[in-house]
Amino acid sequence: MHYIRKKRIESGEKLKQQPCEFFFRLLPVDFADSMCKLLIYMIMFALIYDFMLQYKILKKWDVFPLLAKIIETLICLFTINTERNLKMTVNILAVGDVCGKTGIDFLYQNLSSIKKSKNIAFTVVNGENANIVGITPTQAENIFSAGADVITLGNHTWARWEIKEYLQSNNRILRPANFALCCPGMGHNTYQTPFGEIAVINLIGRFTLDSNTDNPFYVVDEILTSLRTKMVLVDMHAEATSEKAAMGYYLDGRVSAVWGTHTHVQTSDAGVLQKGTGFITDLGMTGPAISVLGIEPRQSIDKFLGEPPRRYETAEGPGKIECAVFTLDTETGRCLNVEAMRIQ
């Protein structure tokens, strides 16, 4: 049974399971449907019993063995449903790079309804373009207020230097794990949820992204040896589709999901790899729908025509969210389904 946890997940602090949540987990999958059926059975039983008494087919006290059989059957049905409920799945939402004010505003207006409609339990948002380049602490707070549980970053992490202290004080925002060891913040973390622990790892590719980083393939190996978490999510922020796809296959069967970010164009290859890892080469972008990767089209055209570079301006107009929902088996951590989405 899916349910939505509206309370913000504070990392490092174990969320307490409410008694009512435990009770609801034990109920049959479709409780209302089961109650209706039970009522119909009881009415039918009363009618048949009355008929049998009337025509002396049954004596008054012969009803008890029959009632015992019915109760036994109901308990059996309840047990089957309970076992089915305990094998739970969880829906994870990964949101593509939030771009500028349009992206933050559109996220704020739409994320809660997406989470509700898709029964999302945990949301990871890439926020490294919230300030078009980089992200400020205020913008990070706005993304959390919109409903993100974790923010991941990328090559523009240090564009706004004021984020440095925020990275050190808030462990729900991650910068790439393969940055140099002296860099502030953390590249991966584990979060307690009602569905079990979920680990998030942020990596950055090396092709054309001159960030003086370690090899993400070796770094992720090292992180995985230290993790005991079944559900592991990886944001691979990279330019080259080949580097992102290679990471997906490299981690297939070792993590729950790998998604790419950075290129701002959603790819059509969402799916589950052979050994059970959910994958998409790039989630896409959350920002202005009529734009060149979030930038006002005229400015981008001028740049390609050879005009001197100027400060990027985010496009205005209607927004969009591009994202993917990964359905995970909480027992094994394996991905069962991936659905890429665009909300416009």
Binding site for Fe ion (CB under 5 A): 154-155, 262
CB of 154 to Fe ion, least distance (A): 4
Left, alpha or beta for 258 (phi > 0: left; psi -120 to 50: alpha)? beta
Residues paired with 280 in a beta bridge: 259
DSSP 6-68: -S---TTSPPPPPHHHHHHHHS-TTHHHHHHHHHHHHHHHHHHHHHHHHTTSS-GGGHHHHHH
Per the listing, tokens 């996220």 go with: 107
Catalytic residue (one of 156, 188, 262, 264):
156
Q: Is 197 exposed, middle or buried (0-12, 13-18, 19+ CB in 10 A)?
A: middle
* Contacts for 160-165: CB closer than 8 Å, 24+ residues apart: 160/131, 160/133, 160/134, 160/135, 160/136, 162/136, 162/137, 163/134, 163/135, 163/136, 163/137, 165/137
Bridging pattern class, strands 89-95 and 231-237? unpaired
- What is the C-alpha end-to-end distance of the chain, expressed in Å? 29
Q: Please, how many CA atoms are within 13 Å of residue 158, restricted to the half-sphere of its CB?
A: 9
Our CB check for Fe ion shows the closer of 110 and 155 to be 155
Nearest Cα to Cα of residue 12 among 199, 202, 257: 199
Q: Is 43 exposed, middle or buried (0-12, 13-18, 19+ CB in 10 A)?
A: exposed
Our CB check for Fe ion shows the closer of 154 and 176 to be 154
Nearest Cα to Cα of residue 258 among 329, 326, 331, 341: 326
Our CB check for Fe ion shows the closer of 234 and 335 to be 234
Our CB check for Fe ion shows the closer of 155 and 170 to be 155
Our CB check for Fe ion shows the closer of 191 and 259 to be 259
CB of 244 to Fe ion, least distance (A): 12
Task: Based on the residue annotation, tell me whether 156 is a catalytic residue of this protein.
Answer: yes
CA-based R_g, the chain, Å: 26
What gap in Å lies between CA 2 and CA 5, rounded to an integer?
10
Our CB check for Fe ion shows the closer of 24 and 207 to be 207
H or E element that contains 80: helix 63-86
What gap in Å lies between CA 232 and CA 254, rounded to an integer?
8
Our CB check for Fe ion shows the closer of 236 and 273 to be 236
CB of 290 to Fe ion, least distance (A): 21
Residues with active-site annotation: 156
